[in-house]
Structure 1
Amino acid sequence: MASQNLVSTKLQIEAVLTVTPFQATDPRQTLRVSVTEPADSGIFRTCLNLILYYNKVVDEDSGWIVAGWIKESLSKVLAEQPMLGGRLRRREDGNGELEVVSNDSGARLIEAKMAMTLSEFLGSKERSEDAEAELVFWKDIDEQNPQYSPLFYVQVTNFECGGHSVGISCSILLADLLLKEDFLKKWADIHSAELAKNDGPNTPIFYLPNLKKPSYSAALYPSSSNQNKTWGKTMMFKISDHQNINLENESGRKLILVCVEDAEHKVGVKMASKFPVFFRGSYDLLKIESCTKHGNKIVGSQLKLKNQISTARWDDLGANEIAFGQGNKPARVTNWIGSVCDGLVMATPSSSVEGTCELNVIVSIPCEKLI
């Protein structure tokens, strides 16, 4: 933790604000969260983190300008994907079940500055998973009053050289929207369109250096709970056989276990014997089911299942091509799932180019559970 503490002393949060959708969501959307066992704290703590690092490409470029325009573009893309600006709440029928509702409460935008250059940070021994956690902001969802907690955060961090990073944190309950719905590309396209209207990166309406009052205090801003999380080593897979993607049957569960065993072998880390599977089977339902490993090696007919599974990459999500204006693509992209506890699996169906159904599977295993 020493490296994290050293970097923490060089990071200062300058502003925190709420960004709401550009227009009201009507009708509101809901996502029912169905849990087979009593919900544990992982539902409220686990998040998908993504950091995009950008070098300075023009003299007038800065993270402060980027953040100002992000406020505008994020507001418009939230209107297209309002669930990311929604809140988790307990259903009104009194049975205690959870649901996410697109109530337009908004996402959080954080502006920060780092007392080092981008090249120093990326090339320094100080840069580690804990250090990178300073570049994303996440606050655990309040278990007693979840309706007050944002589910989506964006942190723009300015480095001394003029470079900047865009850190994104999203609740695991909605992470499939980033992976499946091409959200990042839509957002970047909207951002570029906003800049085009203004003939380049002119100073946006929200430009913190012009708005910051001399009396402000960075200590007023809450700290992120992200650095207290358990990191997960993560692998992605694609399952091609559409007949086996139903997790309610034995073949579907076997496919998940094949992915888990393959991930354990490749990253050298063991999953817990029992772990949650997040399955978005339909637009308005997220199922969270427990899956148990039986300790058996994959033999016999299960070997055939491996032919339906291929390894995917985070690069396949297209984050390396995301440019927030000026054609400035990321110099580096990092991503991970935080607070995985006993590990988790996220499974999301998608339609392939050929029109057949695929299942995208993400396996995340706690780092400390070494084989």
Structure 2
Amino acid sequence: MAAMATTKLIHVESMQTAVPTRVTGAGRTLPIAVSAPPLTAAALQRRFRAVLYYRGAAGVEQQVVAEAEERAAWVKESLSAALADHPEMTGRLRLQRSDVDGGASTWEVRLNDNGVRLVLASVDMPMAAFLEAKDLERKEAALALWTDVDVHEPEFCAPFFVQLTRFQDGGYAIGACCSLLLADPLSLVDFLKAWACTHAEMQARSKAAGGGAPPVIQYTRYLQTPGAATRRLRSVPLDACSAASIMTVLFRADAAAAQVDRRALAAACVDRALEKLGSSAGKPPRLTVLAAEGSGGMTVHACDGDGETTAAAAAAALSRGHALRAAYWHEVGLGEIALDGSEPVHASCSVVSPCADEGLVVVMTPAGGGELLISATVPNQ
């Protein structure tokens, strides 16, 4: 009983959807080219997770809750506005089954304006204590909750979640969890930056107009009933949401490296990652490479992880001048995403993959071109 009493919980208070403020992507699709073997249920759960922590105004509990309610309304409104300019973030994964070519199936992202799943939650502890926890990485998975994509009916599952979590001391966290088939980490960070700008602009316009909240937020207050903020859909232990133990290493490479055989490039990245991490487990038996295409689509290439041909090709690729240079997540600007006039006091991110026996390589090209950013994720054994 004593152990149960000390277990820290996260309380999911609301599950909503932020949809674009105008029709944007109806009818459009983005292709996902998948090499053999077909995507499995576990492969559909590969995702990127980012968590940003912000200080809030300290005060009595009622004041903190009231501020959190208004912040939640602002977040939903600004998300909806930002999504109108980024329809690629509002779609759903869809499996197209064909009656020709032997019944082959293809994947795509259908831009149907279904929106982003918005989770509102709370934690029964101060943010300062949460950040000081020794097992922070394990606990913060609860700050960016995820619902698995159904391999049979993926179009009914959201591939992008945004979560607003409030702490007892008024601090709050913004968690984002996005399928790697919808957007790579660099694209997700770019969207979060655009959303933060939209958020600031909307609040500035509201302040210039007299400081009152927009009608939608006023309406939300009007409908608010006593005790609504304490209603809970479910409560789960903070440390019950972690995924498989994996490690990710980042590299930069010149743009010409994108022309190298993807399998060779992936093998080179995984080799370097294992070397940097000091892993003695050897190369994973499988490698998967994800890369965005210029058309906005995605390619997924799977291959054997260990083979003399791949190793030789990797060495040859690096010898042609496509050197891999060390990179770090803070370079993508997560720590600069300001909300309510303040930058985060802490920012963290990770690639999540339930495929514990594979090496996962994501090749990312900045929106304006330039050096590639490559993540190599390997099992932490």
TM-score, length-scaled by structure 2:
0.82
Query: Pairwise mapping of residues 284-323 of structure 1 onto structure 2 (< 5 A)?
Result: 284-294=296-306, 301=316, 304-305=319-320, 308-323=323-338
- 1:1-371 residue pairs with structure 2 within 5 A? 9-26=8-25, 28-37=27-36, 38-56=38-56, 62-91=67-96, 93-94=98-99, 95-125=104-134, 127-176=135-184, 178-179=186-187, 182-199=190-207, 202=213, 204-205=217-218, 211-212=224-225, 214=227, 217-219=231-233, 227=241, 229-242=243-256, 244-246=257-259, 249=261, 252-269=262-279, 270-294=282-306, 301=316, 304-305=319-320, 308-326=323-341, 328-341=342-355, 342-350=358-366, 357-367=370-380, 370=381
Note the alpha carbon deviations across 1:328-359, whole angstroms, 9 max, x for none: 1000011112224123111123366xx6x533
Shift of 1:86: 0.9
CA distance in 1, matches of 2:192, 2:83: 11
Instruction: Quickly say closer, same or farther: Cα 1:77–1:226, change in 2 above 3 A.
Output: farther
1:201 Cα deviation after fit:
8.8
**How far 1:300 moved relative to its partner?**
6.7
Q: Do the aligned residues in 2 keep the contact of 1:276 with 1:289 (CA within 8 Å)?
A: yes
Partners of 1:6 and 1:102 in 2: CA distance: 45
CA distance in 2 between partners of 1:222 and 1:105 (Å):
27
Cα pair distance change 1:267/1:66, threshold 3 Å: farther
Whole-angstrom CA distance in 2 between matches of 1:143 and 1:7: 37
Bigger mean CA deviation after superposition, 282-291 or 138-147: 282-291
Check 1:222–1:107 CA distance in 2 against 1; reply closer, same or farther (3 A cut): farther
Amino acid at match of 1:21: P
1:22–1:79 Cα contact (<8 Å) kept: yes
Give, in whole Å, the separation in 1 of the partners of 2:49 and 2:345: 17
The alpha-carbon deviation at position 223 of structure 1 amounts to 10
Which moves more between the two structures, 293-302 or 53-62? 293-302
Counterparts of 1:206 and 1:338, CA distance in 2:
38
Structure-2 separation of matches of 1:226 and 1:201: 41
Secondary structure of 1:100's aligned partner: strand
Per-residue displacement from partner, 1:48-107 (whole Å, max 9, x unpaired)? 100000112576774433222110111011111112111111226454211111101111
* Change beyond 3 A, Cα 1:49–1:121: same
Structure 1: unaligned runs, 5 residues or longer: none
Show CA shifts across 1:263-308 (max 9, x none): 1111234541212111212224311111333366779745525653
> Is the 2:199–2:339 contact (alpha carbons within 8 Å) kept by the matching residues of 1?
yes
CA contact (8 A) 2:32 2:297 kept: yes
What is the CA deviation profile of residues 132-186 of structure 1, one whole-angstrom value per residue up to 9, with x for unaligned ones? Answer: 1111110010111111001111111110110000010001112327437721211
Q: Which moved more, 1:180-189 or 1:200-209?
A: 200-209
Q: CA–CA distance in 1 between the matches of 2:291 and 2:8?
A: 39
Tell me the TM-score normalized by structure 1: 0.84
Alpha-carbon distance between aligned partners in 1 of 2:206 and 2:11, rounded to the nearest angstrom: 30
SS in 1 for 2:165: strand
Distance 1:220 1:262 in 2: 42
Q: Quick check: 1:47–1:338 contact (8 Å CA) kept in 2?
A: yes
Distance 1:6 1:235 in 2: 38
| Inter-partner Cα distance in structure 2 for 1:253 and 1:157 | 40
- What secondary structure does 2:184 align onto? helix
Q: Which amino acid aligns with 1:362?
A: S
Q: Pairwise CA RMSD of aligned residues?
A: 3.2
Structure 1 residues 359 and 312, CA, compared in 2 at 3 Å: closer, same or farther?
Answer: same
The whole-number CA distance in structure 2 between the counterparts of 1:99 and 1:186 is: 25
Do the aligned residues in 2 keep the contact of 1:349 with 1:359 (CA within 8 Å)? yes
How many pairs are equivalent? 356
- Judged with a 3 Å threshold, the aligned counterparts in structure 2 of structure 1 residues 283 and 100 are, in CA distance, closer, same or farther, namely same
Whether the 8 Å CA contact 1:29–1:83 is kept in 2: the answer is no
Question: What CA distance in whole angstroms lies between the structure 2 residues aligned with 1:202 and 1:361?
Answer: 42
Deviations 1:295-327 (A, max 9, x none): 66779745525653212211121110001222x
Unaligned runs of 5+ in 2: none
